[in-house]
Amino acid sequence: MERTLLIIKPDGVSAGRTGAILSTVEEEGFRILALQKRTLLRHEAEAFYEVHQGKSFFDGLMEFMCSGPVILCVLEHETAVSKLRALVGPTDPAEAEAGSIRQLYGTTIRKNAVHASDSTENGEHEIGFFFSTRDLLQS
């Protein structure tokens, strides 16, 4: 079984879409292994998105990701990464397939409701960034 990280971003949480997004994920066969709600501190967001440091959108992304609570989810499925990426759709909600999470709940490239790991390796790294082994053993 593969694991991946899903983050419901501040726009998804503030719009009251958490339940709908989690329901969609479960209906698609994902198992939720760990879940937490928190507001990211600036240094956490900077470390998590370090691959984007120096890019023109970085500061705006940091402001946005720290602007309110997020929901952090560890998901499990046989093909967790590829299945979740297909379910959330492309970064730009305007380009997302009808019925995808970003098409339904995203409004802009930045305010696109969710983050999903883009590879198995990144998924494991991102999970470890927010969750301890103990968090995952209890599931």
Q: 17 and 8 in contact (C-beta within 8 Å)? A: yes
Higher pLDDT, 134 or 128: 128
Cα 50 to its chain centre, rounded Å, is 16
Domains (ranges, CATH) in the chain? 2-137 (3.30.70.141)
d(CA 117, CA 73): 11
Number of residues assigned to the chain:
139
Q: Please provide residue 38's backbone torsions phi and psi, each rounded to the nearest 5 degrees.
A: -160, 160
Query: What radius of gyration, in Å, describes the C-alpha atoms of the chain?
Result: 14
Distance between CA atoms of 10 and 113, rounded to whole angstroms? 7
From the list 43, 52, 77, 115, the catalytic residue is: 115
Q: Is the dihedral of CA 70, 129, 24, 92 positive or negative?
A: positive
**pTM for this prediction:** 0.94
pLDDT higher than 80, residue 49? yes
pLDDT tens digits, one per residue of 85-127: 999 999 999 999 999 999 999 999 999 999 999 999 999 999 9
Instruction: Say whether 115 is catalytic.
Output: yes
